[in-house]
Structure 1
Amino acid sequence: MLLAEFPQVQAEQETFTFPENQAVGTLVTTISGSSARGGSLSYYIASGNLGNTFIVDQVTGQLSVGQALDFEAIQKYVVWIEARDTGFPPFSSYKKLEVTVVDVNDNAPEFEQDPFIAEIVENLSPRKLLTVAAVDRDSGLNGQLIYEIIEGNTENSFSINRATGEIRSVRPLDREKLSRYTLTIKASDKGTPLQSTTVKVIINVLDENDNAPRFSQIFSASVPENAPLGFTVTRVTTSDEDIGMNAISRYSIRDTSLPFIINPSTGDITVSRLLNREDTDRYRIRVSAHDSGWTVSTDVTVFVTDVNDNAPRFTKPSYYLECPELPGIGLKVTQVSATDPDEGSNGHVFYFIKSQSEFFRINATTGEIFNKQYLRYQNSSGSSNVNINRHSFIVTSSDRGNPPLLSETTVTINIVDSNDNAPLFLAPKYFTPVTKNVRAGTNLIKVTAVDDKDFGLNSEVEYFLSDESKTNKFRLDRNTGWISVSSSLMADLNKKFLFKVKAKDKGNPPLSSEVAVEIVVTEENYHTPEFSQSHMSVTIPESHSVGAVIRTVSARDRDAAMNGLIKYNISSGNEAGNFAINTTTGTLTLAKPLDFELCQNPEDYFPKVLENAPSGTTVIRLNASDADSGPNAVIAYAIQSSDSDLFVIDPNTGTITTQGFLDYETKQSYHLTIKAFNVPDEERCSFASVNIQLEGTNEYVPRFVSKSRSPSKPRSLYVLLTQHWPCNQLLQP
């Protein structure tokens, strides 16, 4: 076979350069040739057609781009073209063509992943977080990349290396402010025109326990004082800007003395010991909340609300009062007081008397007790054991709870005699002459004041010389009222001594009255006044007018001058003051109107007793009767008035006995008015007149009267006037 027989092949150009974006179908070149054997040639791509990128027309030999060029895949092609003749066997020749592909920026960068995720703990100093990487299959500038953050970089918290894509934090991050950042990163090549792409970078900021728990509010609650153990009072809650374990709080109460406990997990505060509002009505509980790194505290105020669990309590278990007589109605007597430690209506106290009292009422609001009747002390010296002046009743105090609670106390009011009556002298003035040679120590005259409306110490009388009446000539016995001579009167003939005697009771404060006493020093008083009659009886009609003369009594005295002057007075029997006598003339007149229908005759008794009878000698026994029965018929006796203190009466039996020395030569007769009365109603009474005659004994031998005789007072004659007197009244002196 000769070489000349192989086809001759030639191409217009053997090397070519195309951009990778050269259009498909572009003619690369035309292969032509001839064959010495004759006939036409057929053209084929023998090799190097990677990816079947090129095609050749078998007839014309035109080589064109059959597939898109891709620099990133194949940068250069070496294609062998076969020219084949039609002989047999066919002979072929080959032509080498070189096609260089030039890069075009037709590839955008591509990131390795999307999205990128990174984590960083808050509060860390600036540091690398991650590197975002992208690839660009282009080459040269077309494949060189630059990176930038185009979105999501809040407060410029991050930076990125433009060449490497390394992302760093710029400053410490605060998860509580922003817990996630979503950055948009752009990667761009340097081609023309440039190609770029973006990717999301998610940066999660991890929590650090850099925030303390915060209580969600100021806590306060109310709990009834009878709340049972375990009762939930309130729940405390906290919030924490941290998350996870850093945000879980546990609760505690440091003060274990408080009657509360707290659930460490839920914050529920419950009652651990029984409460009593009256002891403590509010609590301040210091509650602490702890997370893994912080502890905070707050005060929880718990108000204990009232339950009506206390009855009112009186300030005293019982009340006792010595109350003076009350002459008016509606006067405050005393006051009770009760307190209730409960609150509101549960502690609002009001009062009432459990069983209505006849004598007292109570102010429901203040507890003040007032009298409903006049309260007078009544003499209870009879045989009854009942104290008629003592009043006891029960006062109840109640609150206004539902239901109300009650308590009681006993109030005892003992009516005591008020010292509201001053002693009254039996005579408006006292006068006596005294002989100049009377012995020192001799009793001259007795002043008598009675305080018979009061009782006890209020009725006990003492006598005093008024301050301006002090004298060294006379002495006053403070207990008996006897005025006696204390020094010689020889130099005081015809001299008048005028002074005042004060009668003062023993009440508190004491009351007193005064009377004038006149003593005239005379010569020897030898004779006693003598009445013209020793006994007179007068009967007058009840219509007798006041001031009318009843009778004139007459007496004479054989002494001269002062010793012969006679002064008249009613010494007894005129206790009611029905009669008056002219002290100078002896004229007896009617002082008050008389009423027969309202009167009963007083009984008159005329017992006799020997002088010098021993003390305790029975004079007479009086016996009064009462038509009533039982307690209403109990009778007691008392001396209503007397001209002497030498007699006493047994209040139960009515027996009158002597006390002291009886001397006929001093006094021959005595008059007593006796009162018989019911116990305890002393207003129901009757009176009797007892005229005691003293019988003398032969105890002296006859002797001449010496000038030393000095009678202690003028002689008197008792006059009994018979008439129907008003009930419960007798003649007063």
Structure 2
Amino acid sequence: PYFTINQTTGTIILRNNIPGVFSLDVNQFPITFQVYAQDRGSPPRVSEANATVTIYYNNGNDPPPARWSDPRYEELNFPIIEKYYERYSDRPIFNDTYGFNGTIIYQLTSQTSSIMTVSSPFPNTYIPFSDAPVSKNGNIFSSGIVVTSGLHAEIQSVYLIYIRVLVNPPLIGSTTITLIDQNDQIPTFDIRSIVLSVVENESGNRIIAQIQAFDRDVDYPNNYVQYRLNGNLSDSEVNGNFFVASNGTIWTNATFDRESNKTLYRLFITAYDGAPAWDAKNNQPNTQDFQFDIQVIDVNDVPPVFINSSSITISINETTINGTGILNLTITDTDFDTILDFGILSGNLKNVFSFNLLSDNIADSSRTQYIAIGQLYVVGPLSYEITPNYTLVLFAFDTQNLATITVTINLLPQNTRAPYFNLMPGFTSYQYEVNEGTAISRLDGPVIRATDPDIPATSMVYNIVTNNNQLNLNSLYLNQANNETTIGISLPGLSRDLPFGYSTYNFSIRATDEGGLGVSSYAP
């Protein structure tokens, strides 16, 4: 009878007709009710589990059954290292910089013991934390929060935890734990070896290839990858003939002679990240090696050719799923016995695309030229809001000649989010007062406005909606302009008297984006 909930923020507040806490009847307490959540999608979805809220009345005469020894326990917020579990085992989490030694102390009013528990505020959610065993000294109790398994900032970097002393009513505090990323992930190559070729008799500085490894650590420099030649594993003849830049580019300035020199060189490139590994004893970073077999071949004097054009622009939906082919390109080479390697030279942010061989005519012994089809396809998540377009440079490499084509990919935004209404703070609905039987072109009160969160935002169309077939709303109309609307009443106005009138008319306003063709939301 006393409380309501803000449908937008979830804040529990006193009803408008309750003047204050002083007017509450203590005999009505404790008050227990259920709260459910409903999203703004179409159709709306309701939470599978409801929250049970119990409100107790404390008139100030009785001390609470439990209290924290330090008010900070009500809302702790501090970081810990990502590898806390491996380093400190079962020691309760602490942070000396924040003045927290890991011990949480509470005092009980009665002599009966009560434990402190650690849980997630979200139902059926596992968290790698638990409560430390409770120690007792009179009516003073001590516990803490322990880590129960390995933490990974790459999966989840922030945890919200509830600590609860099991008294009635319970003593509750919240703890926000932020993981400090440590260098525990190694640079990783998608593949570990490749065979490349250099052509005899060529001279001058020339790039052979560029490799890329990905480090899943969260923060710089832990995820910053550089490259170097591994001289210990590489053939002795590699030194002086091949060079590796820090960005993974392999180049040479040597002139090779297939007839008088080696025809195959094996070299290894080490990818290393930008900080000492978290468990390093000699401050060495994490590393991974890549093996190159570089063969020297006879002169190949005809380059492959992309027959489509030198540049192409395409558009795809931002919701395109992984594995979807988005573009096929035909490549020809009049050296009919050629073998082509395909890939992406640049522009492939976060490696969300891949370009590989789809088919060729190498099995056709009567061919007069080599013809291949390369396919560009999606291999990672796309987002118009983060990266609306990509400019990729695709290549086909025939062991000597590199053919490239520029492909511009524009992401098409999808209407995936419903509009939301801009209600005044503290209000859960639009409310107006009118005189019965009166026409008015615009009701005195707030303008009804909804916002489309999609990018780009689209125009709104508003409609009056009611599920009450007995409610006569024929006199109501909407004044829509500039993506907002007001309500007007035409003659004969609204009736207050029964059986056809009401003292209060409850109905909904529906806002639909894309000019009335898209996603809808409703406001009471």
Report the TM-score, using the length of structure 1 for normalisation.
Answer: 0.29
Ranked by relative contact order (alpha carbons within 8 Å, sequence separation 6 or more), the top structure is: 2
Greater C-alpha radius of gyration? 1
Report the TM-score, using the length of structure 2 for normalisation.
Answer: 0.38
